[in-house]
Amino acid sequence: MTTHNLEDMGCGTSSVKDMRSEQVLKAALVIQNWYRGYSTRLKARQRYALTIFQSIEYADEQGQLQLSNFFSFMLENYAHIHEKDPEIVARLFGSTIQDYKDRQDYVAFVDVPNSYNGPRLQFPLTFTDIDLLVDAFKQQQILHARYVLEVLFETKKVLKQMPNFTHVKTSPSKEITICGDLHGKLDDLLLIFSKNGLPSGSNSYIFNGDFVDRGRNSIEILMILFVSFLVYPNDLHLNRGNHEDFMMNLRYGFTNEILCKYKIHGKQILQILEDVYTWLPIGTIIDNEILVIHGGISESTDLNLLHHVERHKMKSVLMPPTPLDGDPDTNLKKKKFNATILPREVKTSTSLSEQLTKHEWEQVIDILWSDPRGKRGCYPNTSRGGGCYFGPDITSKVLNRYQLKMLIRSHECKPEGYEICHDGKVITIFSASNYYEEGSNRGAYIKLSFGMAPRFFQYQVTRTTCLRPLYQRVNAIESSAIRILRERIIARKTDLIHAFQLQDGSKSGKLSMSQWAFSMENILGLNLPWRSLSSRLVTTDTNGDINYMSSFQDIHIQNPVKEAQSTLIETLYRYRSDLQIIFNVIDSDHSGLISVEEFRSMWKLFNSHYNIHIDDFQIDELAERMDLNKDGSIDFNEFLKAFHVVHKLDKLNKSGSGLA
């Protein structure tokens, strides 16, 4: 073989290698671009799912705040309320319960039996008791009611000595850790302590409210925090959140948790907790530069007033000041109703000295419920129904007014556990990972020291040894979000069908995408991207038109009263949480029973206040059917649980597992 031939062969080999390298590079770029697009689409789906969760969460909170108007209306119109149970009036509109001040009335008669094998606290408490509690709760042990009551009484005693805003100092050598919402998620608190250490004289913490509700271990979190606070009152700081409120607890789970875990002494624990909540500080100020509050601010936020407001008079953030005859400071809507008005002496049984003024109440509402937004100005928080949205200009204005540099708040779930906005002047910190669904969000906490930039630490609790792939996590989150959205849709089926039919002039059973999306938003008011979500909710024809009845496919409300009209069933399902709270308030002894007459009276008030068009005869018939034993009493909790949504997929899975 000649040299020329060898050179030709070498050139050929080089050319082939170059071509292959170019093809590999092109393939890598194609795969890279595909993966970027795929990842972007997955993250968009995750974002839509989180938007669904958040929109429905805020809509529920809005409904909860509307209850405050109902209870004011109830007080004005329910003549039987004072005659039958004056404690209801005191509970809703009075200050703290006077009858239960003496700890001996609670603790002295609660014995700890020798058979009890849970943690035993020693008073005065020490660091050993914190360790003891943490270890016991890791093993899912329950703290005995006697210790719970003693901790609550001790906590209240110390809290009463504290100002509305706790002032703390840091230094380059002494940091402070700030945690946001925990919402009963004990695993998150334990993970924080595992990574960051237990509270101590050299390891300070601020817990920024919403310790309870939603999760399954709210009482365990409270006990760890309160015991740590009692051992280190100068190094562990607690701020009140909007869920440190007995009315919120009735809806979001903490009340049920207490009554399930403490069947004998649960009522006493709840009564003392109502009192403890009112004494929690409403904020912390770090180094005279950083304001830490649960929610946010408004253009009228007055920190001087908030420093001096008598915070213990704020029984519930959902209870505005009682409308008193001739009181110009209240402006609650009055409605006519076919019922006897309360006597004058009942309406004025709560004096102005026992409650906040309307202006003070609004100031506290703003700092517990408000959210920051990118838009300038201050405007009503329409999503939650309470507090306001505040823009970057409001942040600058309020911080400058009080010579502050930064606002740290919580109150909102963030995908990464924290978010910085308003030119770095507002930080949101949220410490409950997997808040909506496993994999939905990370949790985070902040470490601060004087003169140093905040440092963020993120985490995510997982039960598996390795995190599932992103597509599996997104599928699970999205499926869960669509599921609760469909439950919201079926609860408004009658209203939605009416809205669809108004748009469907030809009675074809079909609507354009824009008509369907308009009807969905007009009835549900969730501010969701309906066009993007349509593929998961409805079927379309080849022209892209939507078969609007497919909005309700494979799902229905279980009806325990077969003869009841669909409108009544949907109403009962839609308002079941509100009704349960109302009936629980009437049921002051937590027996789970109310009389048939109370049910009728309260429903008629509810019907009138919420402008619900259900005939009286339907309610009367419903009451008769609810009285299963014909003894004049209704087990309302069990009855309302009977109204639940059935998904076709659930039924198929159950039948499949049955065959297996």
Distance CA(429)–CA(445), nearest Å, equals: 6
Distance CA(249)–CA(13), nearest Å, equals: 76
Distance CA(382)–CA(545), nearest Å, equals: 32
* DSSP percent split of the chain into helix, strand, coil, nearest 5: 50, 10, 40
Distance CA(303)–CA(300), nearest Å, equals: 10
How many CB atoms are located within 10 Å of the residue 377 CB? 13
Residues ≥6 apart with Cβ < 8 Å to 149 = 103, 106, 107, 110, 265, 268, 269, 272
DSSP 8-state assignment for residue 610: T
Distance CA(433)–CA(15), nearest Å, equals: 55
Helix (H, G, I), strand (E, B) or coil at 211: coil
Contact 179, 205 (CB under 8 A): yes
String of b and e for 40-78 (b: at least 16 CB within 10 Å)?
eebeebbebbbbbbbbbbbbbbbbbbebbbbbbbbbbbb
Residues ≥6 apart with Cβ < 8 Å to 580 = 250, 251, 636, 637, 640
Long-range contacts of 525-529 (CB under 8 A, 24+ apart): 525/59, 526/52, 526/55, 526/56, 526/59, 526/485, 526/488, 527/55, 527/383, 528/51, 528/52, 528/55, 528/485, 529/48, 529/51
Whether 243 is catalytic: yes
Distance CA(228)–CA(193), nearest Å, equals: 12
The full DSSP string for 335-397 is ---SSPPPPHHHHTSS-GGGS--HHHHHHHHHHHH-EE-SSSSEEE-TTTSSSEEE-HHHHHH
Which of 144, 183, 237, 243 is the catalytic position?
Answer: 243
HSE-CB of 75 using CA atoms within 13 angstroms: 31
How many CB atoms are located within 10 Å of the residue 449 CB? 17
Please choose, from the candidates 179, 166, 275, the residue with its C-alpha nearest in 3D space to the C-alpha of residue 221: 179
Catalytic residue numbers read 243
